[in-house]
Amino acid sequence: MRLEIAAGGVTVEAEDLAPLLGLTAAEVPRLMREGRITGLVEEGRDADAGRTRVTFRYKAIRLRFTVDAAGRILSQSRVDGAAPG
């Protein structure tokens, strides 16, 4: 799995993201359009420069990745029962 990082945001394949959220790949684009899967991209600064943190939320699931400038995943976590927002 790799995340593509560009000036406009981050791209991840639905086929990669879906099983981590308990979904099918076909469901991901629709749920994103509906705003039921949300994402947040945070660029690292200072000691974290060159790294990006990407967080996806779906229902009570929070899925978080830290990636390097090439989009390689450095760390990944999933929390079930995460607070909304």
Any domain includes 49: yes
pLDDT score for 84:
53
Residue 40 has pLDDT above 60, yes or no: yes
Any domain includes 58: yes
pLDDT score for 83:
57
Any domain includes 42: yes
pLDDT score for 73:
92
Q: If you search the block for the tokens 């039921």, which residue do you land on? A: 36
Q: Return the higher-pLDDT residue of 1 and 41.
A: 41
| Pairing mode, strands 4-6 and 52-58 | unpaired
- Backbone phi, then psi, for 18, in 5-degree steps? -55, -55
The tally of domains found in the chain comes to: 1
Query: Can you give the residue range of the structural domain that contains 22?
Result: 4-80
Residue 8 has pLDDT above 80, yes or no: no
- Mean pLDDT for the stretch of residues 42-46: 91
Any domain includes 59: yes
Residue 36 has pLDDT above 60, yes or no: yes
Q: 57-62 long-range contacts, Cβ below 8 Å, gap at least 24?
A: 57/82, 57/84, 58/21, 58/23, 58/31, 60/84, 61/21, 61/22
Any domain includes 85: no
